[in-house]
Amino acid sequence: MDKKIKKVVKQTEFYILCIIIVFAVIIQIRSGQFFTSNNLMDLVRSMIVPGIYALCALLSFVSTGADVSFPLIAALSAYIAVLAGNTWSLGVVPVFLIAVITGCLIGCINGFFIVRYRFNSLIVTLGTSSICSGILFGAFEAGRTELPEKLYALSKVNIATVKNESSGLGSALPGTFIIMIVLYAAAYFILNYTMVGRSVYALGGDEISAERAGINVKKVRFGVYVVNGGIAAIAGLCYAMMSYFYMPNEYAGAEMLVIAAVILGGTRMSGGIGTLKGCLLGTFLLTMVSNSLILFGISVYWEKVVVGAIIIIGTAISAMQAQRASNPFAVRRKKEA
């Protein structure tokens, strides 16, 4: 039992949880508004899209390296799906399918260059990001677009609504929350209980060992980027559903906060290490900070300073832990002394 507690305390996730609690208490004391039903629900609501993005960031970091293309893959594939849905007045399922397929195809381009030519993933995904943005605004001249009828109807459906008695403010939990839960559940199962999932981790740990063990390294790595494209596309549609309109300008720039959240949650940039729990906690922390500083009456500009500081401090903690963990010399010395 003692050993178990010790192990939990050593994890990055534990620190993030502590920081979350501390922040929550401070915000509660200052504003009295944190632990209200509508605030909490708002928080959950605003972490849905970053939360789904976080899956992309996690998968890419664990297996190979940075992927920064997911917001624009999301934007482009969501746009194509919405466009197709409007033209042929499609139902919800076909719209999602079109989005996912488009996302996967763009993911294939990422995967092809990263796997075939062993290019740096950051450079390749920056490139596809830029191409997607060019196609979106140049070729399609995308602008604010209404959603296909059936998708719009679905986006109005909430799974829960609450009302804060004292302030009279209400908040609703949209159906997209279920999509996030399903994606996380699937990811949890695949990453922890299938050999494919474990191969993703193995590959990130040591590529040569993975190859010798008989993992098809190229296939796994390619697959990660294809899946990433698909997940990003789903996030893109979720985002459109939650704002009831497709708005192309709102997508770009989400990657930094998401990557920061994932790293904060203990994912190691050099690969092989990262958990879904960490993803969720990191995303929750950053969402909470950017949402709740308004409750303090702190201006939006200072909010960015606070978020930046949290990223640096948080990642420093996980980086230091990683260094300590991967320094066998220190362990050995302790043993021999």
Where does this chain touch another protein (CB under 8 A) — which range of 24-32, 51-59, 188-196, 241-249? 188-196
Tokens of 295: 């409750």
Ranges within 254-273 binding another protein (CB under 8 A): 268, 271-273
Distance CA 21, CA 264 (A): 15
Least separation, in Å, of the C-beta of 311 and another protein? 23
Rounded (5°) CA angle 45-40-52 = 30
State how far the Cα of 29 lies from the Cα of 84, in Å rounded to an integer: 50
**Residue 32 C-alpha from the chain's centroid:** 29
Using CA atoms, how far residue 82 sits from 135, 146, 236, 307, 324, in Å, is 15, 8, 10, 33, 49
Binding status of residue 138 toward another protein by CB under 8 A: no
| Region near another protein per CB under 8 A, out of 74-82, 248-256, 259-267, 323-331 | 323-331
- The yes or no reply on residue 323 touching another protein (CB under 8 A) is no
Q: Which of 112, 140, 188, 201 binds another protein (CB under 8 A)?
A: 201
Over the Cα atoms of the chain, what is R_g?
21
Which residue among 158, 249, 299, 326 contacts another protein (CB under 8 A)?
Answer: 326
C-alpha dihedral over 253, 181, 179, 310, to 10 degrees?
A: -10
Helix (H) or strand (E) holding 123, with range, is helix 121-134
Supply the minimum distance, in Å, between the C-beta of residue 186 and another protein. 14
Query: Which range touches another protein (CB under 8 A), out of 17-25, 107-115, 134-142, 189-197?
Result: 189-197
Q: Give residue 178's Cα distance to chain centre.
A: 15
Stretch in the footprint of another protein (CB under 8 A) among 50-58, 126-134, 136-144, 186-194 = 186-194
Instruction: Please pick, from the candidates 193, 294, 304, 316, the single residue that binds another protein as defined by CB under 8 A.
Output: 193
The least CB distance from residue 241 to another protein, in Å, is 33
* Residue 6 within binding range of another protein, rule CB under 8 A: no
- 167 is a contact residue toward another protein (CB under 8 A): no
Torsion of CA 108, 273, 50, 75, to 10 degrees: -10
141 vs 336, beta carbon nearer another protein = 336
Cβ proximity to another protein, 158 vs 192, nearer residue:
192
| Identity of the residue, 161 or 270, whose beta carbon is nearer to another protein in the bound complex | 270
Measured CA to CA, the distance from residue 180 to residue 184 in angstroms comes to 6
**Residue 299: exposure state from Cβ atoms within 10 A (0-12, 13-18, ≥19):** exposed
Candidate residues 213, 305, 313, 320; the one interacting with another protein per rule CB under 8 A: 213
Rounded-to-integer distance, Cα 224 and Cα 217, Å = 11
Residue 186 is a binding residue for another protein (CB under 8 A)? no
Indicate the residue among 61 and 177 with the shorter CB distance to another protein. Answer: 61
Question: Where does this chain bind another protein (CB under 8 A)?
Answer: 7, 192-199, 201-202, 204-206, 208-210, 212-215, 268, 271-273, 325-326, 328, 331-333, 335-337
